[in-house]
């Protein structure tokens, strides 16, 4: 059995798959929810249209990681064509939890723990999907033990989760008192602030309306389970506090403290 969680370029993935194919009964490849061509439809499943590359031979991510999704699609195809009937494709959304080196989800419990006035993008009702790395890894081991083949969206939780639920879980995990100020897409646009400056969240409208609503029904039927967002927020904050200041995982996504303060003031939130 093979667990391939580091394949980004199809040439590399194909070489690995071909080398191992004679001796491997099951190849589990970790792709990404970014493999889909569009994110504008709510509740789409694994049969949705996949991203395409203008140049299938490209081996760079491109500006803003524009090629990332298309490259993941080509990696999936490399595995499936090399090991027909022996492949499992796992498409996670945002992978979060302790030991996350990206600082994306981690920004929110840490920011709440700093206290004070907190700027939060979007609406409280906006949907959010994340998957704790511990749930993802345990489930992938289960797929291997059971010999489960197929293509699966690995997004959580089991039931739709609102942005308010996430923010409240992060706030309650913190030791400091904080006050949340919501900023609509229109307000953010008035600042010229790129919404991607706020990690995890995406506007629940337009091209990203379905981004946090991908169906995980297949994965749930295949045994994927989820811990609570409260547990994720608490454990992530506790882990982050153990890091030394020079640890690169200590770095966070999200706006810098002074930038957030300027935005709050400009929007007359404080």
Burial of 89 (C-beta count, 10 Å sphere; 0-12/13-18/19+)? buried
Question: Which residues lie closer than 8 Å to 228 by C-beta, 6 or more apart?
Answer: 157, 169
Of residues 95, 94, 51, the one with CA closest to residue 75: 51
Residue 256 lies in a domain: yes
Question: Which residues lie closer than 8 Å to 176 by C-beta, 6 or more apart?
Answer: 112, 113, 114, 115, 116
Of residues 21, 168, 156, the one with CA closest to residue 80: 21
Question: Which band of pLDDT confidence, cut at 50, 70 and 90, is reported for residue 175?
Answer: confident
Residue 13 lies in a domain: no
Report whether 217 contacts 45 (CB < 8 A). yes
Report whether 98 contacts 231 (CB < 8 A). no
Residue 89 lies in a domain: no
Residue 24 lies in a domain: no
Per-residue pLDDT averaged across 243-249, rounded?
Answer: 95
User: Domain of 171?
Assistant: 96-129+157-212+228-270
The packing angle between helices 229-240 and 163-173, to 10°, is 40
pLDDT at site 195: 56
| Dihedral in degrees, nearest 10, Cα atoms 108, 114, 116, 120 | -10
Structure confidence by residue, pLDDT tens digits, 10-67:
999 999 999 999 999 999 999 999 999 999 999 999 999 999 999 989 999 999 899 9
Given a cut of 60, whether residue 206 has pLDDT beyond it is: yes
Q: What value, to the nearest 5°, has the Cα angle with vertex 37 and ends 36 and 40?
A: 95
Question: Which band of pLDDT confidence, cut at 50, 70 and 90, is reported for residue 192?
Answer: confident
User: What predicted TM-score, i.e. pTM, was given to this entire model?
Assistant: 0.95
Q: Is the peptide bond before 121 cis (omega within 30 degrees of 0)?
A: no
Two tokens, residue 8 = 């980004």
Structure confidence by residue, pLDDT tens digits, 71-85:
999 999 999 999 999
**Could you give the number of structural domains in the chain?**
1
Residue 22 lies in a domain: no
Question: Which band of pLDDT confidence, cut at 50, 70 and 90, is reported for residue 194?
Answer: low
Higher pLDDT: 197 or 118? It is: 118
Element (H, E) at 151: strand 150-154
pLDDT at site 270: 84
Which CATH number do you get for residue 206?
A: 3.90.25.10
Structure confidence by residue, pLDDT tens digits, 88-140:
999 999 999 999 999 999 999 999 999 999 999 999 999 999 999 999 999 99
Residue 3 lies in a domain: no
Residue 78 lies in a domain: no
Structure confidence by residue, pLDDT tens digits, 251-260:
999 999 999 9
Given a cut of 70, whether residue 196 has pLDDT beyond it is: no
Two tokens, residue 176 = 């400091």
pLDDT at site 176: 86
Report the alpha-carbon distance of residue 14 to residue 79 in Å, rounded.
6
């Amino acid at each position: 059995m093979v667990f391939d969680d580091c394949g980004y370029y199809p040439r590399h993935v194909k070489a690995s798959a071909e080398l191992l194919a004679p001796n491997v009964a099951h190849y589990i490849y970790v792709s990404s929810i970014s493999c889909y061509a569009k994110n504008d439809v709510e509740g789409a499943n694994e049969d949705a249209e996949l991203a395409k590359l203008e140049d299938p031979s490209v081996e760079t991510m491109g500006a803003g990681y524009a090629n990332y999704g298309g490259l993941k699609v080509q990696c999936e195809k490399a595995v499936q064509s090399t090991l027909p009937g022996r492949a499992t494709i796992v498409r996670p959304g945002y992978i979060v939890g302790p030991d996350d080196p990206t600082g994306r989800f981690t920004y929110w419990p840490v920011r709440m723990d700093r206290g004070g006035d907190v700027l939060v993008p979007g609406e409280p009702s906006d949907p959010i999907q994340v998957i704790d790395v511990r749930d993802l890894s345990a489930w992938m081991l289960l797929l291997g033990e059971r010999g489960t083949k197929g293509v699966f969206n690995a997004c959580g939780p089991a039931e739709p989760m609102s942005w308010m639920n996430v923010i409240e879980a992060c706030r309650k995990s913190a030791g400091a008192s904080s006050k949340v100020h919501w900023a609509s897409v229109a307000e953010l646009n008035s600042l010229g602030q790129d919404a991607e400056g706020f990690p995890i969240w995406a506007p629940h409208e337009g091209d990203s309306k379905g981004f946090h609503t991908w169906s995980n029904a297949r994965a749930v039927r295949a045994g994927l389970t989820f811990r609570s967002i409260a547990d994720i927020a608490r454990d992530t904050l506790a882990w982050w506090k153990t890091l030394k200041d020079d640890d690169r995982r200590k770095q966070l996504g999200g706006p810098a403290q002074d930038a957030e303060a300027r935005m709050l003031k400009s929007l007359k939130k404080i």
